[in-house]
Structure 1
Amino acid sequence: MSEPYVLVLYYSRHGATRTMARQIARGIEQAGFEARLRTVPAISANCESTEPEIPEQGALYCTEQDLAECSGLALGSPTRFGNMAASLKYFIDSTSSLWLSGALIDKPASVFSASSSLHGGQESTLLSMMLPLLHHGMVISGLPYSEPELIQTNSGGTPYGATHVAGKDNDQPVDSTELALCLAQGKRLAKLANQLQHN
Structure 2
Amino acid sequence: MKLIALLLITVLSSTVAQCQSSAELMNIGNAHFLIGNYTLALPYFTKATQCITTSPKANYMTALCHYNLKNYTVANTYFTNELSIDSNCAQAYYFKSYIANNNIDSALHYISKAINLQPHKVAYLITKADIYYNHKQYPQAIIEYNNVLLINKKQDYALYKLGYCNYYVGNVIAACLHWSKISELDDFENETFITELINNTRNKK
- Structure in which a larger fraction of residues adopt strand: 1
- Structure in which a larger fraction of residues adopt helix: 2
**Which structure has the bigger radius of gyration?**
2
TM-score when normalising by structure 2: 0.24
Q: Which has the higher contact order (CA 8 A, sep 6+)?
A: 1
